[in-house]
């Protein structure tokens, strides 16, 4: 096994989408993934990229993904938000996740960011234990969300 971690590039996107779907399937939410390859290309490689990603490889085979963006907190300032973090099943528990996670943390240091955040499902014990192993704290905050459809309905009802 020869693991390398590198910045993701446009040609990686088909496999990135596959990893995103693999994670969503594991999280029992595959039907929630509506993003397309074209969306990923437009949103990550256009005039204003909305995300970046790191790739873990074994001999040029993509085996892991750290998908993130920079956000702003009114309390903390600049923060890296780790949107997706996945290692293919056959490479789990072999140190690949730790290498990829540490490279993601190194980006925080390089950019002088004030924190790194992510979400993990409360039943995903392997992920929770992984993050705890890396000294992560878990907050008591709940995260809310409105879907595109809910936003459209809300805006529509305000016009009346």
Cα–Cα distance measured from residue 63 to residue 29, given in angstroms and rounded to the nearest whole number: 21
Spatial neighbors of 38 by CB under 8 A, at least 6 apart, are none
Closest CA relative to residue 18, chosen from 76, 80, 67, 52: 67
Neighbours of 100 (CB within 10 A): 22
Burial 10-47 (b: 16+ CB within 10 A, else e): eebbebbbebbebbbeeeeeeeeeeeeeeebeeebeee
89: left (phi over 0), alpha (psi -120 to 50) or beta: alpha
Q: Which of 26, 50, 91, 131 is catalytic?
A: 131
Q: Is 131 a catalytic residue?
A: yes
Task: Please give the structure tokens belonging to residue 58.
Answer: 């074994």
Q: Which residues are marked as active site?
A: 131
């Amino acid at each position: 096994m020869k693991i390398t971690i590198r910045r993701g590039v446009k040609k990686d996107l088909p496999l990135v989408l596959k990893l995103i779907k693999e994670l969503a399937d594991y999280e029992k939410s595959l039907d929630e993934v509506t993003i397309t390859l074209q969306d990923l290309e437009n949103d990550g490689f256009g005039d204003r990229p909305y995300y970046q990603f790191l790739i873990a490889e074994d001999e040029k085979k993509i085996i892991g993904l750290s998908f993130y963006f920079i956000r702003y907190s009114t309390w903390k300032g600049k923060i890296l938000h780790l949107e997706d973090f996945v290692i293919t099943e056959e490479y789990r528990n072999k140190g690949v996740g730790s290498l990829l996670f540490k490279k993601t943390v190194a980006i925080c240091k390089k950019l002088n960011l004030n924190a790194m955040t992510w979400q993990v499902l409360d039943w995903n014990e392997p992920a929770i234990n992984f993050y705890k192993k890396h000294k992560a704290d878990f907050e008591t905050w709940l995260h809310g969300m409105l879907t595109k459809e809910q936003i459209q309905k809300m805006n529509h009802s305000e016009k009346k």
